[in-house]
Structure 1
């Protein structure tokens, strides 16, 4: 334990009398002080504590003074005490500890549940929890010097293995917390010992571990040893089997089988020992019991076959599961480890960890972008598929953002770094996907719970089968012992337990590689059940950037009208004004010389051109001046009904023309909506704050089934609730920021453009990394395929298990057939789930 230096945090002393006399009150939390406090002084001199201290303060001072001044080398350790139900419990702990040799001071506060201890030697503090436990209470250090580490675990073939490791490590006094996830093959452990000791503890439980950041080859060597042991066990089994046919002495045949059991069964037997020790009933216990039982009743061939098939099945399962776990790890190698940094006119190679925000890096054609940033100089096309899943390169120019891991295909770029290596988009994707893979889906949670009940019941049934029938004279002990052992093997619910997590890990990995971030198995399952999809209009179905749709001229030429409008609007930053100026720029229409520019609040703008005042604004502006629209009246109504925003250009006396501005539909929108309907989404809905005319036009052009118009943000929530009240599972697709309330209300929140928006990554359940909808149908299709495969796995596992159970009692099912049905079913379930990795 690291020594705690407890210092006086506050001393409230104030002069309250005339002259040099000082009356002090104290508020101390400690001992060492730059200025001596009268209260502590009196405690040191064994005098009564000053009356200016409260009773609680006095107790604290007395306690701390006893602890600190008994020996100058001593420090105080604090513990949280659990189990005290009255002050007499506190007194019991105090008295017991104070009688212990080497403990100078022990003080328990019942009200706060805290124990403070001062001991002679540091190692004595480690014994405090044990001594308190003997008294019937629990003590946990308030400040344990622990650190959290992540380890990669090898050798787990079902979730019960993860529980065995957890239970085993939790009994180590130096381990404060441990969580093992079977799906990702990772263990997070908080401990106060060395990493080597943690690895040894995991190995004692029968598995292999290596620090995630470590490049140690130990697990690979262990895996090679495991495979060699399986191969040697199989060879010895073959020798014994052949020997029985060539009349080899029975001693040698038995010896070959025994050696096959010992070599192939050493690892599962060791794991079984620690599983039993930690109170866990996993597959290793069941298989080891079956092998030992077979040897006891003289079925050496059966025992050796059980061990070899089990070891072979585990080896194949581990390799298959590892392939699914690697589905996302490959992303880690996408971003380069070094960057070319521009420093004082020179180019310097630096590790990406040493590059700071604000540094300028150079990315040459063909190179990968090492860090997120904004382009300062240069133009190029970048392949963003690793981040967004977009199949085509994206053109980038000065000011545009670029992401680590993307490939610069053409021009050289100078990029100003905006994020450190640990905060890049790809780093966040990896982190969020790994978190998602660790989150259990409802189906997985159900089967884990089911297995925890099912296994002990069948284990108990197997014991009953071994003992009860022979006791009542229904057969020999050997016969029923054999059937009981077969039942033990069948009791292992491996295939059932891994039917869901392997499928979910495969699907989430596939989605991530295609630019879709699914935050967990729960959301993957929900996506597969969605029947209605609600889209925000602006920025989701449409570009979110208005463009000029039509120009209607009442007087003069089209170019003249646009030139006047551009002159009025070129100094405005309003999106509609920018749409007009962009339209003019694209057609090389030059603005006129204007002056006296003025904005008319809420109505439009004006400018003076060649001495004449021209206006561009809403129709309402000209209606106030009673300006006649003449023949343009019909055009005005038609354009408004189509959902356009109208800019009328004219003077105080006449109308020159109308410019219709509209938000344009994304190129991919119509195709995506049709694809969604083909994959089983029954109703596609649009939510918009625009008027009825605009909503109707967009709905008609995109194939939207239903729309809600003129909505405020809170109205979007009401619209989602209305759809849910109709009995539909509803997904909401928006930008993850403005639509946050609706995203939260929906059954599934899907955000677009996550690569450029940190908040979208954090708020939504599913994130489309690209700023378009083309990956949405793939996500729904993948989710439904995952649900289908999970159902296939579950039914196959149950039918296989049920068939095996039926075949045991007539005597048709041998031990080795039972093992084959169990490990074979698990392997088939894994391979079936891996099909999701190849879903396109």
Structure 2
């Protein structure tokens, strides 16, 4: 029997780019029992798959030795008993991921390194302190050489060593841990070589510029990390739990499903839940980006992190802290950042050959001209060292992951979740979108659209119909009751109520005997007027379901209902067409309803489809050369979601749809499907800009260095400058706002 393997996650401080991740990966894999390592730079997390007997302290020491700080992440705390509603159950939510970005992870027994913690002000990090110390030493050197010019070489060498010794140590530890060709190796060779040819002043400046570049890189990476942490911080730390007439304040992370919490005006809601009592406007902007608060009343869902603007609400908790909306976003984004995009994988493979290749080219430039053409050794060694610095792959390596991390963070803040860089890149190529109808283009629940008075007024028709439906949970009954509440109609429950199987409901209000049912069932009791029949036919052609109300066996009126399109459905489809995507609707609903909704929204309908039919149509579209995104929210959409190039689940959909899909529109806005595609294209453009900046600057300074126009200082400025430019360009994506309605 094979030995069991375990996944352990570690918090790793000080990672800035993929080169950092490669060193940590190589060092960790050398620990006995480790079978796999996944490092997420932006999340600051490493997942290690290892045997049960593996020494976790040895993993920490290995990571520690290459210049970073690591500690195993504590398991999420198990919810403890808190006052809750009857019927609540204890659930053991034991997760190995960090949901809140909580700063309670204990980094114990660690030694200081150049890479400091990402927490706190940037100047408190060890990397910043090393940079400031080295800068002060070099500044002092420039002063001292004015008084002791004969010791120029020694003074600048000493100042340079303040910064170079930690860099050289990291290069050495990387080499013995399986990563010999690192940026630190290039820097160490170049700086030492510069001292040997008498360019110690330039070597010192090169070292400080390198440290400054690393520091700026770390600050920028921290911004992307902070963007996700800010999401987790939206959830309040404490919640007011009601039980047995008393209110108790407890940590939000310990809330149990079915607990009843009190949310006062102005408070953030501490958990996902359903309103039990109360009515208020809820500001969902922190989670959904919607600018206007939404009216919420009994039975409506609310999300953790949103703000109760007006009245007090009592909310029944429907998800534990580890599973609420915010936690799901953070978890999915962290997992997405661990999944590399095709471009990123290519750049990483390229860099493995690129760095040793640069060292070979630099050596040839330094050696060949003096040996073959009798050129000056000092001149060409100097040029070789400059080429070595120009060749630092840092800007190139960070060009893709920085952009993808920023884009994933920006998307998550708008409720756009993409499961990795490959999905993010793939979305930009989509030119065909296949949309489900119910729950995707529509709300997924019927609404009253028309109230028709015949023998009674519209007010009376709605009042009497609602009287029959009190106590029913049928979707059509719920729609009628919601319409009556919207109109402010006081409803008295009907007496002697009952259902007529497959036909309708009956009851009595006062002296009036009522029947509400389908037009066919009503026609069996009383002949419908020709004018009403014509009106019903027209409503049916619009995809609406009609119920006829009889009072004392005479037609009082009729009510039409339909699952209406989402408020932004028309705008969303128009946005998809503007960006060049064709749109088709795939639905299992009848052709008449599908055609009515499609005509209203301006798209092609395909109706009366089984799940396998939807899957087949997606396959046919792909066979035509289309890059297909399938959007749906139900179990019957799962096969088609899996068959598409990109499967997108609508928010509020089933778990099956969310698990099968590659991406999710968390807040159910149709326009966000277009936003996903636009974000993907913006990210791809940003990546190519970054690659062009990186390679363009390197190519320019390579030519000017070989020609003798530029030297060591401009060489390192080219690398540092390219890194800063690439990172700053990627960070622009954090400000992405998307298409507004």
**TM-score computed with the length of structure 2 as normaliser:** 0.83
**1:627–1:653 Cα contact (<8 Å) kept:** no
Alignment of 1:389-468 (within 5 A): 389-468=289-368
Cα pair distance change 1:171/1:725, threshold 3 Å: closer
Report deviation, 1:830.
Answer: 0.1
Residue 834 of structure 1 is aligned with which of 700, 722, 731?
731
Residue 40 of structure 2 is aligned with which of 157, 160, 181?
181
Cα pair distance change 1:215/1:382, threshold 3 Å: farther
Give the Cα–Cα distance (whole angstroms) in 2 for the partners of residues 519 and 320 of structure 1: 23
Give the Cα–Cα distance (whole angstroms) in 2 for the partners of residues 440 and 523 of structure 1: 9
Alignment of 1:776-795 (within 5 A): 776-795=673-692
**2:632–2:641 Cα contact (<8 Å) kept:** yes
Q: Give the CA RMSD over aligned residues.
A: 3.6
**1:708–1:719 Cα contact (<8 Å) kept:** no
Residue 818 of structure 1 is aligned with which of 715, 718, 726?
715
Please state whether the residue corresponding to 1:262 is helix, strand or coil. helix
Residue 241 of structure 2 is aligned with which of 306, 318, 341?
341
- CA deviations 1:358-390 (Å, max 9, x no partner) are 443333332223333444443333333333333
Report deviation, 1:486.
Answer: 2.1
Give the Cα–Cα distance (whole angstroms) in 2 for the partners of residues 676 and 197 of structure 1: 52
Give the Cα–Cα distance (whole angstroms) in 1 for the partners of residues 245 and 467 of structure 2: 43
Cα pair distance change 1:415/1:549, threshold 3 Å: closer
Cα pair distance change 1:502/1:593, threshold 3 Å: closer
Cα pair distance change 1:214/1:197, threshold 3 Å: farther
Report the more deviating stretch, 200-209 or 290-299.
Answer: 200-209
Give the Cα–Cα distance (whole angstroms) in 1 for the partners of residues 386 and 350 of structure 2: 21
**1:204–1:270 Cα contact (<8 Å) kept:** no
Please state whether the residue corresponding to 2:160 is helix, strand or coil. helix
Alignment of 1:69-468 (within 5 A): 142=3, 148-154=8-14, 156-173=15-32, 178-189=37-48, 198-209=59-70, 213-214=104-105, 219-220=116-117, 224-241=125-142, 246=146, 248-250=148-150, 252-280=151-179, 281-468=181-368
Residue 612 of structure 2 is aligned with which of 687, 708, 714?
714
Report deviation, 1:506.
Answer: 0.9
2:584 pairs with 1:685 = yes
Cα pair distance change 1:549/1:320, threshold 3 Å: closer
Report deviation, 1:329.
Answer: 1.1
Q: Number of paired residues?
A: 693
Cα pair distance change 1:637/1:342, threshold 3 Å: closer
Please state whether the residue corresponding to 1:647 is helix, strand or coil. strand
2:587 pairs with 1:728 = no
Please state whether the residue corresponding to 1:690 is helix, strand or coil. coil
Give the Cα–Cα distance (whole angstroms) in 1 for the partners of residues 551 and 41 of structure 2: 74
Please state whether the residue corresponding to 1:348 is helix, strand or coil. strand
Give the Cα–Cα distance (whole angstroms) in 2 for the partners of residues 628 and 151 of structure 1: 72
Alignment of 1:599-614 (within 5 A): 599-601=500-502, 604=504
Report the more deviating stretch, 559-568 or 687-696.
Answer: 559-568
Partner of 1:3: none
Report the more deviating stretch, 756-765 or 199-208.
Answer: 756-765
Give the Cα–Cα distance (whole angstroms) in 1 for the partners of residues 26 and 398 of structure 2: 20
Please state whether the residue corresponding to 1:742 is helix, strand or coil. helix
Give the Cα–Cα distance (whole angstroms) in 2 for the partners of residues 654 and 362 of structure 1: 49
Report deviation, 1:307.
Answer: 1.3
Cα pair distance change 1:556/1:181, threshold 3 Å: closer
Cα pair distance change 1:719/1:535, threshold 3 Å: same
**1:386–1:515 Cα contact (<8 Å) kept:** no
Please state whether the residue corresponding to 2:443 is helix, strand or coil. strand
Report deviation, 1:297.
Answer: 2.1
- CA deviations 1:36-85 (Å, max 9, x no partner) are xxxxxxxxxxxxxxxxxxxxxxxxxxxxxxxxxxxxxxxxxxxxxxxxxx
* Unaligned stretches of 5+ residues in structure 1: 1-111, 115-141
Alignment of 1:539-554 (within 5 A): 539-551=439-451
2:665 pairs with 1:806 = no
Report the more deviating stretch, 501-510 or 331-340.
Answer: 331-340
Give the Cα–Cα distance (whole angstroms) in 2 for the partners of residues 206 and 561 of structure 1: 76
Give the Cα–Cα distance (whole angstroms) in 2 for the partners of residues 626 and 379 of structure 1: 42
Give the Cα–Cα distance (whole angstroms) in 2 for the partners of residues 527 and 148 of structure 1: 32
Cα pair distance change 1:410/1:817, threshold 3 Å: same
Cα pair distance change 1:666/1:372, threshold 3 Å: closer
- CA deviations 1:508-564 (Å, max 9, x no partner) are 111222222222212222222222322222222222222333355666765676677
* Unaligned stretches of 5+ residues in structure 2: 74-103
**1:233–1:259 Cα contact (<8 Å) kept:** no
Cα pair distance change 1:695/1:416, threshold 3 Å: closer
Give the Cα–Cα distance (whole angstroms) in 2 for the partners of residues 654 and 765 of structure 1: 55
**TM-score computed with the length of structure 1 as normaliser:** 0.74
Report deviation, 1:353.
Answer: 4.4
Please state whether the residue corresponding to 1:543 is helix, strand or coil. coil
Give the Cα–Cα distance (whole angstroms) in 2 for the partners of residues 372 and 617 of structure 1: 37
Partner of 1:11: none
Residue 705 of structure 1 is aligned with which of 600, 603, 607?
603
Give the Cα–Cα distance (whole angstroms) in 1 for the partners of residues 285 and 530 of structure 2: 54
Alignment of 1:546-695 (within 5 A): 546-551=446-451, 573-580=473-480, 582-583=482-483, 586=487, 588=489, 597-601=498-502, 604=504, 617-619=517-519, 630-632=530-532, 634-648=534-548, 659-678=559-578, 680-695=579-594
Report deviation, 1:761.
Answer: 4.4
Give the Cα–Cα distance (whole angstroms) in 2 for the partners of residues 494 and 321 of structure 1: 13
Partner of 1:496: 396
Larger relative contact order, structure 1 or 2 (CA cutoff 8 Å, min sep 6): 2
Give the Cα–Cα distance (whole angstroms) in 1 for the partners of residues 169 and 302 of structure 2: 52
Give the Cα–Cα distance (whole angstroms) in 2 for the partners of residues 693 and 186 of structure 1: 52
Cα pair distance change 1:748/1:559, threshold 3 Å: same
Cα pair distance change 1:689/1:356, threshold 3 Å: closer
Report the more deviating stretch, 554-563 or 729-738.
Answer: 554-563
Cα pair distance change 1:562/1:147, threshold 3 Å: closer
Report deviation, 1:669.
Answer: 2.1
Report the more deviating stretch, 555-564 or 339-348.
Answer: 555-564
Residue 753 of structure 1 is aligned with which of 651, 663, 669?
651
- CA deviations 1:105-145 (Å, max 9, x no partner) are xxxxxxx7x8xxxxxxxxxxxxxxxxxxxxxxxxxxx368x
Partner of 1:62: none
2:390 pairs with 1:529 = no
- Report the structure number with the largest CA radius of gyration: 1
**1:647–1:659 Cα contact (<8 Å) kept:** yes
Partner of 2:77: none
Cα pair distance change 1:648/1:715, threshold 3 Å: farther
Report deviation, 1:838.
Answer: 1.2
Give the Cα–Cα distance (whole angstroms) in 1 for the partners of residues 165 and 734 of structure 2: 34
Report deviation, 1:416.
Answer: 3.6
